[in-house]
Amino acid sequence: MKKADLKSLDLAALWRGLTRPDPAGHDRVVPPTGFTAQLTVFSAGAMAFLAVFALALALATGRLAERWSSELAQTVTVRISAPADQMDQQTRAVMAALETTPGVAEARQLPDDEVEKLLEPWFGPDVPVEALPVPRLIEVTEASSGFDAEALRLRLQGEAPGAVLDDHTRWREPLVSAANRLRALGLISLALIAAASAAMITLATKAAMAANGQVIRVLRLIGARDITIATAFVRRFTRRAAMGAAGGTALGMLAVWALPAVDQAGAFLTGLGFQGWGWLWPLLVPVFAAAIGFAATRWAALKILREVR
């Protein structure tokens, strides 16, 4: 390849060749069908399908981390474990202390039916709450300004020795950390999918150009410039990557939409999927696939054209 062609073979020139029509039929130097065409379309579609799920995982775990962090941070529980003859007295003392604590928006004693629902996953339905040494539970909702948890603990120790303030830090931090790690895993998966797509498209481009080495030599002999040859390959393979990714994205979005809702799964799933405007994010997958195909094909074309003489 001549140095002048190396300078002219830049992104702007290739982008113009990619977006403009091809009335001269330069794309005919690239095989329209065959193994490389099928490989490019299939790999782009498969990677786009996986990318939709990785994106859904990253978004869902992000929502989960935010929900756990905000909900558990705003709710505090006071457990009262005391002898039966002191339970009512200490409960009244705790409620009085909470009502006069700055930063407490609401304090509510959980009735027996709600406590029964909390114990149901461990003891099954129809838990005899009254027959078990179950502590009294008071749900405390923080105001936006918050309150001094350490000062409240000291006050409760003096006025209700059987009361324990639990701000859920022991439970919240591992859950939020796990959700954040899952989100990072989803983002890493997206990066690996992009790298794998680039590798597959590069291999397909090299295979196609190597198989058409004799055609490239003939085109050079009749005056074709390397920029024309490279643009033909870039145009074809970028469009194949975009088409395959569009199909894979559509199938991926359909599969995510068909997943069971959280309530149907017994509140066990984290709500894997997209919500609201989040459904627009997968539409960027074909765009990025086309960009990856463009960059990978350009690099492969430059390399092969230097080798083919």
CB 257 within 8 A of CB 273: yes
Check whether 211 has a pLDDT greater than 70. yes
CA distance 77 to 24: 75
Mean pLDDT (the chain) is 77
Instruction: Extract the tokens encoding 67.
Output: 């929900």
Q: What is the mean pLDDT of residues 244-271?
A: 74
pTM attached to this predicted model: 0.66
For the stretch 223-242, pLDDT in tens is 767 777 777 788 888 888 88
For the stretch 13-28, pLDDT in tens is 545 555 665 555 555 5
pLDDT at 141: 79
For the stretch 158-176, pLDDT in tens is 888 888 887 766 666 777 7
Instruction: Extract the tokens encoding 276.
Output: 């609201």
Q: What is the mean pLDDT of residues 74-83?
A: 79
Instruction: Give the sheet arrangement for strand 104-109, strand by strand.
Output: 104-109, 136-142, 75-80, 163-166
Tell the burial category of 254 from Cβ atoms under 10 Å away from its Cβ (0-12, 13-18, 19+).
exposed
How confident is residue 267, by pLDDT bands cut at 50, 70 and 90? very low
Residue 6 CB neighbour total at 10 angstroms:
14
CA distance 159 to 53: 53
- Which comes out higher in pLDDT, residue 130 or 108? 108
Check whether 250 has a pLDDT greater than 90. yes
